[in-house]
Amino acid sequence: MSDPTPNAPLTDPALLRDIAEIGRIKAVPRILETVAHITGSRFTAVARVTETTWTACATYDTLGFGLVPGGQLVLETTICDEIRQSAKAVVFSHASQHPIYSQHHTPRIYGLESYASVPIFRPDGSFFGTLCAIDSAPGDFDEAHILRSMELLAELVGNYLDTEDRLEQAALALSDAHQVAELRDQFIAVLGHDLRNPLQSISIVAETLEMEPHSDRQQRMFDHITASVTRMQGLVSDVLDFARGRLGGGIPIALRPVANLDAELQQVVNEVVNATGRSDIAVRMQVGCTVICDPNRLAQLLANLLTNAAQHGDSTVPIALEVQADAEALVLTVRNGGHIPADMLGSLFSPFSREQGALPRPGLGLGLYIAAEIARSHAGTLTVASSEDAGTAFAFRMPNSGW
């Protein structure tokens, strides 16, 4: 049997993609073995056939034909070129006794006696190539049965090609989405950082003007400016914390021993009372030891939890704060009335998560996300439990030793 003519290394990007696509289909080697078994052929292949080329994408060779993936035959010497043009399979078991193929150039060039080749179509109907089997010895098979069996296997390959295309497109889309998300987060970080300077300038100008003689009306305007700047500074800080968390660095903390954490947390409670008008916050603290933490970040975590409870909880039920600390751990729990549906619990700590209601809520919906990131930076956890009977409880736990 004649060997195929050797070719230069394949460099066509489109053909290389086709070979790689077939190579990713794990079922192809088994399909080629099945074709070899049912036909008795010692060489089977999946070939990519175009208007100008015949290229092996996968082969099964116990015949010694010598073709491997990427190997090529001169297109005009193959029957596959005719199959591409007619979209019809060709099967014969004994070329030298066949009324047509005994005179055909392909069996003569390659010394073939048995041959079976069926077209492979993608699900959209476009032609890809052929699933073929050849041997130098006559085949002992029923041609009609082989034709039907190989058509089914070729259809299977075509469907796998469609699946591979979809997976590749999905992977590319996911990669693009990741790149867009990273650029978005970087933009947010830069924007938040750059907003701090003009805000600081506005605050300084307002404070300077307030020191000069002014009317009661102007004082009210200064108070409004100061309140707005304070709120904007809080929003910018939330945006920067969000960007740090999303970009993988986490929220930075400065750990130190804190002997009066209860007093600092009580100050947070007072500030939340003034800001929200909720004077029904019941506090119980048992902090009888030094706590290793970042007190400013823990204050931020508590402020976010208490503000969330004040804004979203049942206003007729008091808010309860419990803080316990010993040499092993710190546990901080905020309880409020109201029930969070079970299908919302899983997304509460996601960024921009907020309760859907009739009235707009202040803020960006980053409070619980940032609180969870602060907990993580302290090697701790922030969890939530909610039921109609018991209400809602957010619990922060962190170790107080072993850092």
Partner residues linked to 382 by β-bridges:
396
Decide if 70 contacts 97 (C-beta within 8 A).
no
0.75 exceeded by pTM: no
Residue labelled with tokens 């089914």: 152
Instruction: Name the DSSP class of 256.
Output: E
Inter-axis angle of helices 143-210 and 216-246, nearest 10: 150
Tally helices (H) and strands (E) across the chain: 10, 13
Please tell me the total number of residues recorded for the chain in this structure: 403
Domain 256-399 has CATH 3.30.565.10: yes
**What is the per-residue pLDDT for 184?**
58
Gyration radius from the chain CA atoms: 36
**What is the per-residue pLDDT for 347?**
81
Which tokens go with 205? Answer: 């100008």
Q: Domain-by-domain residue ranges, the chain?
A: 13-170, 177-246, 256-399
**What is the per-residue pLDDT for 177?**
59
| Non-local CB neighbours of 210 within 8 Å, separated by 6+ positions | 219, 222
Which superfamily is assigned to 13-170 in CATH?
Answer: GAF domain (3.30.450.40)
Of the candidates 337, 277, 265, which has an alpha carbon nearest to the alpha carbon of residue 301? 265
What are the average pLDDT values for consecutive 10-residue runs of the chain, which has 403 residues? 59 89 89 93 96 95 92 93 94 93 92 95 91 94 91 89 66 61 57 61 74 82 72 65 60 88 92 87 92 91 92 92 94 94 84 52 68 91 93 95 58
Beta sheet of 90-92, edge-to-edge order? 72-73, 54-61, 43-49, 127-135, 114-121, 90-92
What's the topology of domain 177-246?
Helix Hairpins (1.10.287)
Decide if 374 contacts 253 (C-beta within 8 A).
yes
